Structure 1
Amino acid sequence: MHLGEAQRDMRRAYVNGGVGIFVSGLVWAAAGLVTLYAEPLSAMAILFFGGMLIHPLSLLIARRVYHRGKVRAPNPMEMLALQSTAFLIIGLVVAYLVSPTYGDWFFAIALLTVGARYLVFQTVYGMRLYLVLGVILIAIAAFALWLEITPAFVALTGGATELLCSAFILVPAKR
């Protein structure tokens, strides 16, 4: 399977990745809201465990709402997306490990990691929108670390950015 064909297959099966961005945005928004009303560890748990649900929920929505089928096997872009999950897990572990000393850094480090993963998704889906989304999320996280912005703002801003970006993908896809 050639690169362009693999990317088209990924865009078809995963609704250009928009459903995943949407679900991720909801998880980030939920974690941000929890930071306002509960212990930071609860919000971290929402992000971690909610993050584990992003892919299965995205598949369910893509198949039930958008009536998309599976990726044709073997698709190397699906494997690349799966392999990039390792970087996401490593980033969350680092964020968690520094959180006892630098509690406000958890969401910024996690957002940096998510933004970096979206840079890989530019290759997975063949869409420049992922480069833009990744750079925006990385910039939000970098400014949050530099300016010591509250964790709730980081999580809510990251979630809102993803939800807005998902609308650019999903609204045209529904037509």
Structure 2
Amino acid sequence: MHIAAAQLDVRRIYRGGFVGQLVSGGIWLLAAAVATWISPTASMAALFLGGTLIFPITTVVLSAAGGPAGLPKGHPFAALAMQIAFTVPLGMIVAIVVGLTEPALFFPASMIVVGAHYLPFVFLYGMRLFAVLAGVLVIGGVACLSVWPAGAAASGWFTGVVLVAFAFALRASAARLNPNAPTRG
């Protein structure tokens, strides 16, 4: 299988990242709500635990939408997708340690971890828009750490909104790249 064909499969099956981004954005918004109305420490647990559910929830939604919910066995990008997914929980351990020391730094540090994890998606999906998403989150996280560290919950809300907005942008981009493939999720 050629790289372009494997990328087409990833875009088609995962709807250009649409469903995963919506799920991820929803989890970030939930964690930001927990930070706003419950506690920063509870929001760390919400984002970490919710983050571990992104792939299973995405799979359920893709199944319910019809069509395949995952790459077929033996797909050349299946291992890469799994390796990319495991970078976030490992990086989140660092964000949690930072957040336990200074709670206002948890969301910005998490933004950087999540943003960096989107860089290999550029190759996985064959979509440069993931580099833009990575840049928005990493630069936003650095700005929040440097310029506005007191805006912890606000950076969680910002990230959730960015992820939801990018879900729709990615779906549109995938539709342009795969005009004959379903991209609705």
Provide the TM-score with structure 1 as the length reference.
Answer: 0.93
The answer to whether structure 1 residue 163 and structure 2 residue 173 are counterparts is: no
Distance 2:52 2:100 in 1: 23
Distance 2:150 2:163 in 1: 19
Q: 1:85-144 CA deviation, whole Å, 9 max, x = no partner?
A: 332122111011122322211111111111011111111110011111111011110100
Residue number in structure 2 paired with 1:89: 89
Q: Following superposition of structure 1 onto structure 2, how do residues 1-175 of structure 1 map, counting pairs within 5 Å?
A: 1-65=1-65, 67-69=66-68, 70-147=70-147, 148-170=149-171, 173-174=183-184
Identity across the alignment (%): 32
Distance 1:142 1:149 in 2: 13
Provide the TM-score with structure 2 as the length reference.
Answer: 0.88
Deviation at 1:76, TM superposition (A): 2.6
Deviation at 1:149, TM superposition (A): 4.2
Distance 1:123 1:166 in 2: 17
Deviation at 1:63, TM superposition (A): 2.0
**Is contact 1:29–1:156 with CA below 8 Å preserved after alignment?**
yes
Amino acid at match of 2:21: I
Deviation at 1:53, TM superposition (A): 1.1
Amino acid at match of 2:168: A
Amino acid at match of 2:73: A
Give the number of aligned pairs. 174
Give 5+ residue unaligned stretches, structure 1.
none
Distance 1:86 1:63 in 2: 22
Q: 1:53-88 CA deviation, whole Å, 9 max, x = no partner?
A: 1101111111212x2214233223221121123321
Amino acid at match of 1:151: A
Give 5+ residue unaligned stretches, structure 2.
176-182
**Is contact 1:19–1:62 with CA below 8 Å preserved after alignment?**
yes
Runs of 4+ in 1 over 6 A off after TM superposition: none
Question: Residue 118 of structure 2 aligns to a residue in which SS?
Answer: helix
